[in-house]
């Protein structure tokens, strides 16, 4: 599995509250984007704690034999990470109310299990086209889903940044999780809203379709988000299922 990750402060924010990580073990790859929030520098703490805790958990993870194992592992570990972040916020006054979005994917040679909380997103490019795999846990997305506003209205809604769900802000949190099959040359794109708010789905699709190098494409997408304002931190992970070569296992 070919992969690249990148995080950028953007052009306006004084510091970067996003954290990203891509970790490997015998099962496969765990890739996570976390977009922190809450209090002076506390967003940094929440997102960094999330990534570092998941790194430790993935290093200790048992062998995962199928989608049900992957979904159970990811769901259970999110509960553990949520508890860690939440309890830290209670015992450190400067971190009170901190939390983070999270979008993560557990990738094996045959499938990908995707979990998310908040409005960081996962997109998939495959033979069927390009689509957003996750659904934002945000106020405007609920308004769109209920028919109260249009998708176009949501782009400029004054409460666009209001989240309905985040990791670490409450004692418990629900993870949305699903598993998809991966074919050769499929591309997964994980990102914070600093990217998705600045680049349309149509542009993302075009850039991925014409991509010949993940690193160059990731750099170009971040630059485009900055060129379009760069008001937020920008984070991206791209994973591409490699074409099999004779005598090699798929990855």
Residues in the chain: 251
Q: Assign residue 28 a region: left if phi > 0, alpha if psi is -120 to 50, beta otherwise?
A: left
pLDDT score recorded for residue 251: 53
Task: Please report where in the chains the tokens 């485009």 appear, as a residue.
Answer: 224
The pLDDT-based confidence of 144 (bands split at 50, 70, 90) is: confident
pLDDT, average across residues 50-71: 96
Residue 43 pLDDT exceeds 80: yes
Asked if 97 and 39 touch (Cβ cutoff 8 Å), the reply is: yes
Q: What is the pTM of this model?
A: 0.93
pLDDT score recorded for residue 245: 46
pLDDT, average across residues 192-197: 96
- Residue (of 90, 78, 81) closest to 42 by Cα position: 90
pLDDT score recorded for residue 40: 60
Q: Give the three-class secondary structure for 145.
A: helix
The pLDDT-based confidence of 247 (bands split at 50, 70, 90) is: very low
pLDDT tens per residue, range 83-92:
999 999 999 9
């Amino acid at each position: 599995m070919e992969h690249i990750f990148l995080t950028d402060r953007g052009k306006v924010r004084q510091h970067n509250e996003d954290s990203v990580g891509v970790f490997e073990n015998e099962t496969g790859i765990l890739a996570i984007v976390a977009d922190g929030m809450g209090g002076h520098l506390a967003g940094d703490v929440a997102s960094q704690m999330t990534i570092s805790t998941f790194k430790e958990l993935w290093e200790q993870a048992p062998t995962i034999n199928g989608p049900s194992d992957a979904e159970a592992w990811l769901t259970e570990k999110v509960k553990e990470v949520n508890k860690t972040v939440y309890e830290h916020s209670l015992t450190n006054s400067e971190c009170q109310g901190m939390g983070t979005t999270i979008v993560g994917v557990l990738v094996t040679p045959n499938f990908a299990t995707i979990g998310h909380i908040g409005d960081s997103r996962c997109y998939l490019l495959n033979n069927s086209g390009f689509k957003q795999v996750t659904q934002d846990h945000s106020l405007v997305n609920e308004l769109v889903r209920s028919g109260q506003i249009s998708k176009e209205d949501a782009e400029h809604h004054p409460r666009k940044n209001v989240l309905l769900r985040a990791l670490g802000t409450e004692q418990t949190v629900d993870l949305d999780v699903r598993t998809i099959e991966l074919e050769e040359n499929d591309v997964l794109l994980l990102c914070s809203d600093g990217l998705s708010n600045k680049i349309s789905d149509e542009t993302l699709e075009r850039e991925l379709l014409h991509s010949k190098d993940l690193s160059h494409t990731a750099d170009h997408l971040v630059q485009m988000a900055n060129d379009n304002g760069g008001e937020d931190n920008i984070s991206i992970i791209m994973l591409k299922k490699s074409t099999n070569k004779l005598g090699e296992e798929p990855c």
